[in-house]
């Protein structure tokens, strides 16, 4: 007789879906689908996770610990026991610490799982106790996070379920059909209620094609458009003066800042027409329940923090935050989880250096204070880290002892000395929050771990014991960790416990009233207002007032690289995840290079030609797809990292705020081969 279990999708995605998993009498998961009862998932999953069981039962799934028997990069390994693996790892750690100090050990993880305890709990305690180098986890959203903190004092926005009440939805830098599949039906419901959908994006992707209006902006010019909108709102006196007085800091300075940003000037910067700018601003000014649904794309530029700060100020001018379905939504991250309980900084030793994960290549190649031991989990840095050729060179070092805890034989695994088998979300317990919707969810195992796979938490308990760490926190069970995470004084978590989650499977955060208005009691900034002028920016060497700064090329010879290369999200893969799932590989087919007809003509490139895209850092070859889906001077390819690693061209340069990766400030040239 089959049984049904409720699991949570663990991947780095807005939707954090609730999944119904059917398990047969033999204990094998045989069916997976969206949980019909969940208010956001509503019974359907994305095309990626519909094929999740192929990932769980993949014939090349890593099931046992292994050690390297060939040269690095060859992928030759033999099976060993967990006891031998733990012994070899801790011997390497102890010897590294003895010779070079604990900072010579570097943990490297990111968002391979978003379950709170396997994302970050026992691992932070372990490496903190060791005194290892600390990793700044900045690949995805750190510029946006820092920007939201500076403007609002927290990383909160509109409840996405309330977007059905929006009358203008601006999808700014996001292709929701591919990356946030449960967002688009909410948008469509709002449109049935009379809403207008505007997409602002350099790429005419699927969401843009379905929108009422698409503004094909030049990459990285978003804040110029926002300042131009402010210029018109102020000049036309289309303002909510009472809201500005009560809730906006820096309005007088802002009025001066936006004076030069006339429609003509903004058109020159953004590539839009003056008419597009004027008409769009008028639509925004006259629609009170207007919502800016901002994606992560705009903050992946060198000026990413500045861009998000400027966009986040816009709703203050019209008072959109007062309206149900009005305001701004980039992320809902700060829902009250007790991270201090999870990380336990009280057991940390020393004051170690911090290494930015976007600069792993340089960290592995530096000669002073070298990294000698690297422990990789929840990530595939050989493919996802910027300047990938440099990362590969570092991973090839024979004097670098590398451990990879992984489900599949990724590119990073090929450079490992020890590989450990990791569980999937169907095989371990965890809790999840979303950085989009407002539900906390429990994930309980529906099947036994395959082979000898273990979750991160259990692995770090074993390592802590072998290292001789005796603090009680290293004996906490996974259930203990969940209770500690939820043991929070924050009102959002009132009534949410491990026991209630086990019973209900998911609970919405607690708030007063029928609808979530995150700033009804004021903002969490020092001024208690939206801060268009944030004095604390001076301490970071940044402009305190929202601004527009042109992108700065990071190539050694910028004049040689006139094309702006954007690497957008694929429909069938999530960064490097699912890249080995056959069903999805067949559907995605080969990656292509979208190029504007003018750029193709000037280079003698025709449809289907093999094109070399290159800069100082690296090169890839892609077939040309000639299309006006991209503007002049812009190249775009959907990410298919297992086939073509576009990150050989991306830079280690960091964002202005938050130290984030700048995947989208990437300049190249393109030439026809053959």
pLDDT score at 93: 99
Identify the CA nearest to 32 among candidates 41, 20, 15, 43: 20
pLDDT score at 644: 74
Domains, in order of start, for the chain: 3-56 (3.30.200.210), 66-140+339-424+452-476 (3.40.50.740), 143-330 (3.40.228.10), 558-672 (2.40.40.20)
pLDDT score at 47: 84
Pairing type for strands 290-294 and 248-249 reads unpaired
Task: Specify the 3-state DSSP secondary structure of 53.
Answer: helix
pTM of full prediction above 0.85: yes
pLDDT score at 586: 55
Pair 33, 19: CB distance under 8 Å: yes
DSSP states of 480-534? HHHHHHH----GGGTT--HHHHHHHSEEEPP-SSSS--TTTT--SSTTSSEESB-
pLDDT score at 50: 86
Identify the CA nearest to 415 among candidates 374, 384, 456: 374
Instruction: Compute mean pLDDT per 10 residues along the chain, 674 residues long, and list them.
Output: 95 95 97 97 90 91 97 95 99 98 98 95 99 96 97 98 98 94 96 98 96 98 99 98 98 98 99 99 98 97 97 98 98 98 98 98 96 98 95 97 97 97 98 98 98 99 99 98 98 98 98 95 96 95 96 74 88 50 57 95 97 95 96 89 81 96 96 92
Pair 558, 664: CB distance under 8 Å: no
pLDDT score at 573: 46
Beta bridge partners of 441: 432, 506
Q: What are phi and psi of 23, to 5 degrees?
A: -120, 135
DSSP states of 370-418? ---EEEEES--HHHHSSSHHHHHHHHT-TT-EEEEEESB--TGGGG-SE
pLDDT score at 1: 85
Identify the CA nearest to 314 among candidates 144, 435, 170, 518: 170
Strands (E), 242-360: 248-249, 290-294, 327-329, 354-356
Rounded to 5, what percent of the chain is helix, strand, coil?
35, 20, 45
Which helix (DSSP H) or strand (DSSP E) does residue 142 occupy? helix 142-152
What lies within 8 Å, CB to CB, of 23 at 6+ separation is: 2, 3, 4, 5, 29, 30, 446, 447
Pair 599, 670: CB distance under 8 Å: yes
């Amino acid at each position: 007789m089959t049984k049904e279990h409720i699991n949570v999708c663990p991947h780095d995605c807005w939707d954090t879906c609730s999944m119904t998993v059917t398990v047969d009498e033999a204990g094998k998961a045989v069916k997976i689908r969206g949980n019909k009862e969940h208010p956001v998932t509503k019974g359907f999953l994305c095309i990626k996770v519909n094929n999740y069981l192929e990932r769980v039962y993949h014939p090349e799934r890593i099931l046992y610990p292994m050690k390297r028997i060939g040269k690095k990069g060859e992928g030759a390994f033999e099976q060993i026991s967990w006891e031998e693996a733990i012994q070899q790892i801790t011997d390497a750690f102890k010897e590294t610490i003895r010779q070079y100090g604990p900072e010579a050990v570097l943990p490297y993880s990111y968002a391979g799982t978003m379950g709170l305890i396997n994302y970050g709990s026992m691992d932070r305690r372990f490496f903190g106790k060791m005194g290892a180098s600390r990793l700044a986890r900045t690949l995805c959203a750190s510029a946006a996070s820092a920007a939201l903190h500076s403007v609002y004092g927290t990383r909160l926005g509109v409840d996405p379920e309330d977007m059905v009440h929006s009358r203008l939805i601006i999808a700014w830098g996001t292709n929701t059909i591919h990356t946030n599949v449960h967002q688009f039906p909410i948008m469509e419901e709002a449109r049935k209620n009379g809403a207008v959908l505007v997409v602002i994006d350099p790429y005419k992707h699927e969401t843009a094609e379905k929108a009422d209006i698409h503004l094909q902006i030049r990459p990285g010019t978003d804040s110029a458009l926002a300042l131009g909108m402010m210029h018109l709102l102020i000049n036309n006196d289309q303002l909510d003066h009472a809201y500005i007085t009560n809730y906006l800091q820096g309005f007088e300075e802002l009025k001066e800042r936006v004076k030069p940003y006339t429609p003509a000037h903004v058109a020159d910067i953004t590539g839009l027409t003056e008419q597009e700018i004027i008409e769009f601003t008028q639509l925004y000014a006259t629609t009170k329940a207007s919502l800016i649904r901002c994606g992560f794309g705009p903050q992946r530029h060198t000026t990413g923090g500045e861009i998000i700060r400027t966009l986040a100020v816009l709703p203050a001018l019209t008072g959109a935050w007062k309206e149900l379905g009005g305001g701004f939504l980039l992320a809902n991250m700060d829902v009250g989880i007790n991270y201090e309980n999870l990380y336990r900084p009280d057991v940390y030793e020393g004051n170690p250096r911090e290494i930015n994960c976007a600069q792993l290549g340089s960290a592995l190649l530096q000669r002073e204070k070298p990294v000698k031991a690297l422990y990789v989990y929840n990530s595939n840095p050989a493919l996802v880290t910027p300047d990938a050729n440099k990362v590969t060179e570092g991973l090839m070092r024979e004097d670098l002892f590398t451990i990879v805890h992984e489900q599949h034989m990724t590119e990073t695994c090929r450079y490992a000395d020890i590989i450990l088998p990791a569980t999937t979300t169907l095989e371990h317990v965890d809790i999840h929050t979303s950085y989009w919707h407002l539900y906390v969810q429990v994930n309980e195992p529906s099947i036994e771990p395959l082979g000898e796979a273990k979750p991160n938490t259990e692995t770090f308990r074993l390592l802590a014991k072998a290292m001789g760490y005796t603090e009680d926190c290293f004996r906490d069970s996974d259930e203990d960790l969940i209770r500690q995470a939820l043991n929070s004084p924050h009102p959002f978590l009132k009534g949410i416990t491990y026991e209630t989650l086990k019973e209900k499977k998911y609970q919405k955060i607690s708030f007063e009233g029928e609808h979530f208005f995150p700033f009804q009691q004021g903002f969490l900034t020092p001024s208690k207002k939206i801060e268009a002028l944030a004095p604390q920016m001076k301490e970071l060497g940044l402009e305190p007032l929202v601004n527009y700064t042109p992108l700065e090329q990071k190539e050694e010879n910028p004049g040689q690289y006139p094309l702006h290369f954007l690497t957008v999200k694929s429909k069938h893969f999530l960064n490097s995840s699912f890249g080995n799932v056959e069903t999805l590989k067949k559907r995605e087919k080969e990656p292509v290079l979208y190029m504007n007809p003018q750029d193709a003509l000037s280079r003698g490139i025709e449809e289907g030609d093999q094109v070399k895209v290159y800069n100082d850092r690296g090169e890839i070859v892609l077939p040309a797809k000639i299309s006006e889906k991209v503007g002049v001077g812009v190249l775009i390819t959907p990410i298919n990292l297992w086939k073509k690693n576009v990150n050989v061209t991306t830079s280690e340069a960091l964002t202005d705020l938050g130290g984030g990766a700048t995947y989208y400030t990437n300049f190249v040239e393109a030439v026809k081969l053959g």
